[in-house]
Structure 1
Amino acid sequence: MGGVISAPALAGILKGCTAKPSINWKPAYLSQEQATLISQVSEIIIPKTDTPGAKEVGVPEFIDLMLKDVYSEEDQKRFMDGLKKFDEDANTEYGDPFIELSADDQAAFVKKVHDEAIATEHSENRPAKRPFILMTKELTLLGFFTSKAGATQVLQYEAVPGAYKGCVPLKEAGNGKTWAT
Structure 2
Amino acid sequence: MKTVMNRRDAIRRVALLMGGAVSMPAILGVLGGCSAEPGADAGAEWKPAFLTPEQAALVAEVAEIMIPRTDTPGARDVGIAAFIDTMLKDAYPEDGQRRFVAGLADFEAHALREHGRAFLALEPGQRTAMVKQAHDPAVEAERQSTLPLDERQRPFILTMKELTMLGYFTSEPGATQVLQYRPVPGAYHACVPLRQAGNGKTWATETSRPF
Do both proteins adopt the same fold according to a TM-score greater than 0.5, normalized to the shorter chain? yes
1:77 counterpart (88, 98, 113): 98
| Higher mean C-alpha displacement, 96-105 vs 26-35 | 96-105
Give the match for residue 135 of structure 1: 159
TM-score with structure 1 setting the length = 0.78
2:59 counterpart (38, 47, 50): 38
Could you tell me how far apart the structure 1 residues matched to 2:135 and 2:65 are?
11
TM-score with structure 2 setting the length = 0.68
Instruction: Give the 3-state SS of the residue equivalent to 2:144 in structure 1.
Output: coil
Letter in 2 for 1:123: Q
Query: Whose relative contact order is higher, 1 or 2, with alpha carbons under 8 Å and at least 6 apart?
Result: 2
Residue 175 in structure 1 maps to residue 196 in structure 2: no
How big is the shift at 1:45? 0.4
Could you tell me how far apart the structure 2 residues matched to 1:39 and 1:124 are?
29
Runs of 4+ aligned residues of structure 1 deviating over 4 Å after TM superposition are 124-127, 167-172
Unpaired segments ≥5 residues, structure 2: 1-41, 205-211
Could you tell me how far apart the structure 2 residues matched to 1:168 and 1:131 are?
43
The structure whose Rg is larger is 1
Could you tell me how far apart the structure 2 residues matched to 1:173 and 1:100 are?
44
Query: Aligned pairs, how many?
Result: 158
| Cα contact 1:157–1:179 (8 A) shared by 2 | no
User: Identical aligned pairs, as a percentage?
Assistant: 51
Could you tell me how far apart the structure 2 residues matched to 1:163 and 1:62 are?
34
2:188 counterpart (138, 163, 168): 163
How big is the shift at 1:176? 4.1
Unpaired segments ≥5 residues, structure 1: 1-21
